[in-house]
């Protein structure tokens, strides 16, 4: 392997990237767009959920409780109902996601037995939202009086969710505000790096075949591994640049805390880049058209990364079989690492397992990529 030839390829590739608008857009503009879109667009928080109330008592107590709901940022009361038929209609027509029903003996039970019940009817066709809404309702009711219970009933989706009647004192670690953005953004960074890295390199070999420059290149003494290294070096630099951009954007724009070490981030990001660039290169060497190669690149990075990396959907909630599949998804390890680095401030020693897994992945991919492209015409 000769450094002179690697450098020649790298210089040539850099000039080509600089003169290719499409590559520049993918390299520089796409990370920005995705950061904005996914950073703002994807949120698992529920705020200002539309609520209808059916106050069967109409007392001072019941009104005070409803004021609590109104004051909470989680709910906004959109209508006051007069009977159960209206409640059902409101849920059916999507006017609201939950209906809060205060029984006619609310105040009396509260003073008699020291405990009363409020009924929550939830639209559980989206059971995730229903669960969260019931949880929030519970906390609002608790805030009003410790001895109130919520009797929840779900519609449409999973079986009714019952409140256990146990008071929990919660203390949340790592993401104290329970802001789902803090949880999502590190995953978005992984998603961007995977997509940009694989997409850019997926074009690099197929472009040479398509433009007819490959035939001349393979008639020279250049080695396949030199071609690979020379071509990947500029993209590695771009990937690192994008990583820095994503970090700065996450911390200073979205105010996601970064608690880990920059060295650990640099090291793990390098490993991840080797994997994604190598995967892109493998695709490019296998598929000789640029369009085909870029489509495959999107397919093998975007889909698994967004669905199976645990970036938004927790892996331990997946069926066992699917959990097994996630071990093949290389972004899984990087997402785990990024979340720990951003939120937990873990050190490299805490992340030994995912880092090791990614290291092995990088070695295998680099080995395959070095031999992927054959210096011959078919």
Partner 1 sequence: MTPEPGPMVEAKNLVKHFPGVFAVKELSFSVGKGEIFGLAGPDGAGKTTVIRLLAGVMPPDSGTATIDGIDVVRDPEMARQHLSYMPQRFGLYEDLTVDENVRFYADIFEVPVALRDQRIGPLLTSFGMEPFRKRLAGQLSGGMKQKLGLVCALIHTPKILLLDEPTTGVDPVSRRDFWKILYGLREEGVTILISTAYLEEAERCTRLALFHQGTMAYCDTPANLKAKMPGKLLNIASTESREIQKRIQSLEGISGALLMGDHVHVAVDDDQKRIPEITRALSEAGLPFDPVTVTEPTMEDLFLALLKTKRTSP
Under a CB-based contact definition with an 8 Å cutoff, are residues 330 and 272 in contact? yes
What's the chain's length in residues? 378
Q: What is the residue-wise DSSP string for 89-146? A: HHHHTTS-SEEEEE-TTHHHHHHHTS-EEEEEEEETTSHHHHHHHHHHHHHHHHHH-T
Number of Cβ within a 10 Å radius of residue 190? 28
Question: Between 9 and 265, whose beta carbon lies closer to partner 1?
Answer: 9
At its nearest, how many Å lie between partner 1 and the CB of residue 13? 10
Alpha-carbon distances of 297 from 11, 51, 93, rounded to whole Å: 24, 44, 42
Question: Between 56 and 375, whose beta carbon lies closer to partner 1?
Answer: 375
Question: Between 119 and 225, whose beta carbon lies closer to partner 1?
Answer: 225
CA distance 36 to 254: 10
Question: Between 9 and 296, whose beta carbon lies closer to partner 1?
Answer: 9
Q: Which of 188, 229, 239, 288 is nearest to 1 (CA)?
A: 229
At its nearest, how many Å lie between partner 1 and the CB of residue 376? 6
Instruction: Name the token pair of 120.
Output: 């929550």
- β partners of residue 148: 116
Q: Which residue has the tokens 């954007």?
A: 249
Q: Is 249 helix (H, G, I), strand (E, B) or coil?
A: helix
CA distance 75 to 143: 14
Question: Between 167 and 215, whose beta carbon lies closer to partner 1?
Answer: 215
What residues make contact with partner 1 under the rule CB under 8 A?
2, 4-5, 7-9, 11-12, 15-16, 19-20, 211-223, 375-377
CA distance 138 to 151: 9
Instruction: Name the token pair of 104.
Output: 């006619």
Question: Between 219 and 289, whose beta carbon lies closer to partner 1?
Answer: 219
Question: Between 14 and 139, whose beta carbon lies closer to partner 1?
Answer: 14
At its nearest, how many Å lie between partner 1 and the CB of residue 207? 10
At its nearest, how many Å lie between partner 1 and the CB of residue 378? 8
Angle, CA of 121, 124 and 127, to the nearest 5°:
130
Question: Between 217 and 322, whose beta carbon lies closer to partner 1?
Answer: 217
Phi, psi of 98 (to 5 degrees): -135, 155
> In angstroms, how far is the first alpha carbon of the chain from the final one?
25
Instruction: Name the token pair of 16.
Output: 């080509």
CA distance 155 to 174: 34
Question: Between 212 and 314, whose beta carbon lies closer to partner 1?
Answer: 212
CA distance 130 to 150: 14
CA distance 229 to 236: 10
At its nearest, how many Å lie between partner 1 and the CB of residue 223? 8
Question: Between 85 and 211, whose beta carbon lies closer to partner 1?
Answer: 211
Question: β-pairing, 75-80 with 148-155?
Answer: unpaired
């Amino acid at each position: 392997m000769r450094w002179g030839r690697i450098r020649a390829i790298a210089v040539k590739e850099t000039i080509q990237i600089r003169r290719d608008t499409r590559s520049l857009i993918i390299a520089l503009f796409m990370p920005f767009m995705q950061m904005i879109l996914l950073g703002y667009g994807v949120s698992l928080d529920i705020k200002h959920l539309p609520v209808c109330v059916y106050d069967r008592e109409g007392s001072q107590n019941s009104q005070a409780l409803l004021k609590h709901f109104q004051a909470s940022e989680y709910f906004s009361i959109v209508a006051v109902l007069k009977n159960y038929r209206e409640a059902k209609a409101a849920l059916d027509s999507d006017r609201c996601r939950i209906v809060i029903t205060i029984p006619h003996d609310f105040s009396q039970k509260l003073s008699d037995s020291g405990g009363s019940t409020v009924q929550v009817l939830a639209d559980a066709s989206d059971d995730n939202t229903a669960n969260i809404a019931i949880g929030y309702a519970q906390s609002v009711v608790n805030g009003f009086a410790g001895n109130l219970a919520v009797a929840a009933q779900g519609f449409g989706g999973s079986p009714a969710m019952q409140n256990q009647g146990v008071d929990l004192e919660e203390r949340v670690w790592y993401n104290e505000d329970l802001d789902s953005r803090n949880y999502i953004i590190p995953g978005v960074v992984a998603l961007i790096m995977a997509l940009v890295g694989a997409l850019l390199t997926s074009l690099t070999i197929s472009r040479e075949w398509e433009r007819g420059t490959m035939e001349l290149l393979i008639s020279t003494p250049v080695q396949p591994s030199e071609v690979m290294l020379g071509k990947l070096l500029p993209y590695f630099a771009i990937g690192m640049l994008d990583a820095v951009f994503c970090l700065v954007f996450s911390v200073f724009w979205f105010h996601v805390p970064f608690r880990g070490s920059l060295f650990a981030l640099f090291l793990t990001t390098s490993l991840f880049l080797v994997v994604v660039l190598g995967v892109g290169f493998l695709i490019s060497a296998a598929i000789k058209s640029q369009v085909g190669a870029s489509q495959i690149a999107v397919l093998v990075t975007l889909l698994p990364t967004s669905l199976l990396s645990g970036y938004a959907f927790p892996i331990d909630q997946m069926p066992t079989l699917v959990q097994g599949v996630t071990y093949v998804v290389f972004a899984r390890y990087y997402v785990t690492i990024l979340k720990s680095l951003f939120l937990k401030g873990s050190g490299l020693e805490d992340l030994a397992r995912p880092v090791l897994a990614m290291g092995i992945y990088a070695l295998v991919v680099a080995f395959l990529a070095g031999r992927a492209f054959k210096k011959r015409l078919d």
